Amino acid sequence: MPDKITRKAEKAVFIQQKLEELYPSTPIPLDHKDPYTLLVAVLLSAQCTDARVNTVTPALFDLADNPGDMVKVEVDQIREIIKPCGLSPRKSKAIWGLSEILLDKHDGEVPQSFEDLEALPGVGHKTASVVMSQAFGVPAFPVDTHIHRLASRWKLTQGKNVVQTERDLKKLFDKSVWNKLHLQIIFFGREYCPARGHDPLQCPICQVVGCKKGM
């Protein structure tokens, strides 16, 4: 059994090195072809798995894969297609509404700023962070419930919410690795560090950095 690492800064170094070893390549798990289709896919992924989103978006994007075509589609039709993703009444209105705003205010293009993205219907800070980092290469650290859970489990943060956790993780890790690291953490959580049925002694990270009780 390896010696436990207790200092937060040392944990961060070990975690980054281990994740880079396990996941040197980080393909974006949501199928898309441009910033607009990524934006829609990320919006659909709220409280839904990436795998399910990827089964739904082909039919939606065959119908409309740009704002101009999307506003020609009835909201009810969008809702029927995306129903398997959950929250379809709200998400369908958001997709149609943001498409209209992109046409009216941004020449049909996805804006490259947090402020403009977060002003769009259905787009919160996490969604904007994913688009900024993965579509435009702007350093961001999107923190969803999975990353929040792992950061708490590894005692990298005492944050009570994703906002506090994002702030703590940004302090611990260099800006140059944020975009890749957030995906690496997600991949690791799915493969080695699930919310349930987790064995810290078999986890490549928890066995070294420890594991918060109850996590």
Contact predicate 56/81, CB 8 Å: yes
**What are φ and ψ of residue 170, in 5° steps?**
-65, -30
CA angle 13, 215, 48 (to 5 degrees): 95
Reference 193, options 2, 9, 13, 23; nearest CA is: 23
Rg from Cα positions in the chain: 19
So which residues are the catalytic ones?
126, 144
State how far Cα 171 lies from the chain centre: 19
Burial class of residue 141, CB neighbours in 10 A (0-12, 13-18, 19+): buried
> What is the Cα–Cα distance from 138 to 110, expressed in whole angstroms?
14
Reference 34, options 59, 66, 69; nearest CA is: 66
